[in-house]
Amino acid sequence: MDAHPPLIEHAGEPQSNALRGRLSRVEPKGLRTYTPSLAMVARSQGCYVWTPEERKLADFTSGVLVSNLGHNPVRWWQRVWRYMQLPDVHAVSDAFVSAMPLTSYNAASELEVDCCERLLANMRAQPGGGRMEQVLWAASGSEAIQKSLWASLRFTPGRDVILATRRGFHGKKGLANAVTGSETDPDRDPRVRFISFPTDECCDVQRRREPIDLAPYERELQSLADELAGRFCCLITEPYLGGSGSFHPQPEYLQLLERFCRQHDIIFILDEIQSNFGRTGPMYAYTHYGVEPDIVCLGKGLGNGVPVSAAVGRADVLGSLDYGHGSDTWSAHPLGSAAVLATLDEFETTDVLAQGQRLSATLEHGLERLKETGIVANVRGEGCVWGVECRDIGALTGRDVANACVKACYLGDDRGRAVHLLGPLASKVLRVSPPLVMPVDEARDYLDAMYDVFGTVAKQVS
Ligand SMILES: Cc1ncc(COP(=O)(O)O)c(C=O)c1O
């Protein structure tokens, strides 16, 4: 294993190259997911980040679907500040006597209570949110998933089987990792059994609009029921396969899973860590997928960048955890509560969801056009979360082509328009997920830049 992989360097980036060199000495590479650009960010505002050389990059990642409201929105920060009861920073120091503490371990505050109540009210107000009764806070997505599974297992003593959908991604830690992937992964937790998630039926935007044949999934579920009836505890799935390359199923598939859960008294957990707060269109994906989960896991965009996550759902299930079972240092910390409240304020008082839906149509059109370059095999997505699958070209794999595109988009076109992308998912799928607030004309301009850059890559590789 190479502890010191080749340094990522780009021509014309002296400060960034020096920083990448220093970084490689002080952090192990495993901290990051590989991206051939490894952008060094010196500042950010709205839908853009800037390198130390002052090169402007349109952020088509939102971090990793985190900053749905863009980076550092002023009104959002003012709200966070007010919820934290922080005074003007220039005010006299004793004004800080009113400020909230930065920990809530062994103590709680009205801020936390308000935040739970507001979040629950927001979730219940959407179709499908009828079971949202309590909030079990956490700091990262995988922790929220783990807590939802712990609570489910304790709620159903003697029922040890966790059902998960194949090729899902729920996190890298503990039980969250155990329900990720499929049974072919080594060291699989024997309690977890997998069922297929549609990929062929929703392999592009057009096919997804056609009805899905549920019969193969019904057969699979029936054979699991024949084998394991009485042992099912919970079923965990995502609205769409994100990490596995953007497969967005027809709603009827999730509705089938929900029906199965109801028939067998199984706790239905929906992982909305990527999709929450408007990513797929509505506030939560459960609304337009037409399901009513028992537990919904939230994260990423929930705090617009402040680390906060939660398992939200039925009080009887979450209440099965005893004192301490779901506690940890950072859960429910006041800064997280302030961030969630400020984010809810923005979603509840502005037209950010409508803006996201306008942006969605622009993204679909601009990304579909990339197929004309000959290096894109498929485009899949909904709302403001899209996947662009690259083709194998000659001796180059789709992964090589995707990596070449990420790097070329980062370096920009001949008009200096550059796009910040994540490294490819599922080896060859580029994720496009800009902040929901990106103005449509700016998105169109940068999609045009991507078209030009992809065209250049196509010439180089063919
Ligand atoms: C759907 C989904 N669930 C869970 C997680 C895990 O979240 P975290 O990385 O915050 O632990 C992710 C992260 O990408 C995700 O996309």
Whole-number Å distance, alpha carbon 273 to ligand 1 midpoint, is 6
User: Does residue 129 sit in the same domain as residue 228?
Assistant: yes
Pocket test for ligand 1, best of 66, 170, 172, 236 (most atoms within 8 A of CB): 170
- Which pLDDT tens digits describe the chain residue by residue (462 residues)? 566 778 999 999 999 999 999 999 999 999 999 999 999 999 999 999 999 999 999 999 999 999 999 999 999 999 999 999 988 777 666 667 788 999 988 899 999 999 999 999 999 999 999 999 999 999 999 999 999 999 999 999 999 999 999 999 999 999 999 999 998 887 889 999 999 999 988 888 888 889 999 999 999 999 999 999 999 999 999 999 999 999 999 999 999 999 999 999 999 999 999 999 999 999 999 999 999 999 999 999 999 999 999 999 999 999 999 999 999 999 999 999 999 999 999 999 999 999 999 999 999 999 999 999 999 999 999 999 999 999 999 999 999 999 999 999 999 999 999 999 999 999 999 999 999 999 999 999 999 999 999 999 999 998
User: Which structural domain range is residue 114 located in?
Assistant: 103-332
> Structurally, how many domains does the chain consist of?
2
Sheet holding 385-390, edge to edge: 376-382, 385-390, 429-432
d(CA 245, CA 387): 6
Give the CATH number for residue 57: 3.90.1150.10
d(CA 291, CA 105): 34
d(CA 423, CA 35): 4
Whole-number Å distance, alpha carbon 141 to ligand 1 midpoint, is 5
Give the CATH number for residue 191: 3.40.640.10
CA nearest neighbour of 390 among 401, 404, 380: 401
Pocket test for ligand 1, best of 274, 286, 304, 308 (most atoms within 8 A of CB): 274
Look at residue 346 and tell me if it is in a domain.
no
Task: Identify whether the C-beta of residue 267 lies closer than 8 Å to the C-beta of residue 156.
Answer: yes
User: Does residue 251 sit in the same domain as residue 292?
Assistant: yes
Strand 267-271 to 295-298 pairing: parallel
> What's the predicted TM-score (pTM) here?
0.97
Query: Is residue 242 in contact with ligand 1, taking CB distance under 6 Å?
Result: yes
In this predicted structure, what is the pLDDT of residue 112?
Answer: 98
In terms of C-beta density within 10 A (0-12 exposed, 13-18 middle, 19 or more buried), how is residue 250 classed? buried
Record the tokens describing residue 177, joined without a space: 């990792």
Look at residue 92 and tell me if it is in a domain.
no
Look at residue 246 and tell me if it is in a domain.
yes
**Residue 29, amino acid:** K
In this predicted structure, what is the pLDDT of residue 79?
Answer: 97
User: Does residue 358 sit in the same domain as residue 236?
Assistant: no
d(CA 392, CA 368): 18
Nearest protein Cα to ligand 1, atom 8: 141
Q: Which atom of ligand 1 is nearest to the CA of 143?
A: 11
Record the tokens describing residue 115, joined without a space: 């935040």
Residue 265: phi, psi to the nearest 5?
A: 55, 50
Look at residue 120 and tell me if it is in a domain.
yes
Strand 232-237 to 161-165 pairing: parallel
Query: Is residue 170 in contact with ligand 1, taking CB distance under 6 Å?
Result: yes
DSSP letters for 401-446: HHHHHHHHHHH--TT--EEE-PPPBTTTEEEE---TT--HHHHHHH
CA nearest neighbour of 192 among 204, 208, 181: 181
User: Does residue 212 sit in the same domain as residue 130?
Assistant: yes
Which of residues 301, 332, 363 is at a domain's end? 332
In this predicted structure, what is the pLDDT of residue 97?
Answer: 75
Phi-psi bin for 431: left (phi > 0), alpha (psi -120 to 50), beta?
A: beta
Query: Is residue 169 in contact with ligand 1, taking CB distance under 6 Å?
Result: yes
Cα first-last separation, the chain: 32
Phi-psi bin for 245: left (phi > 0), alpha (psi -120 to 50), beta?
A: left
In this predicted structure, what is the pLDDT of residue 181?
Answer: 94
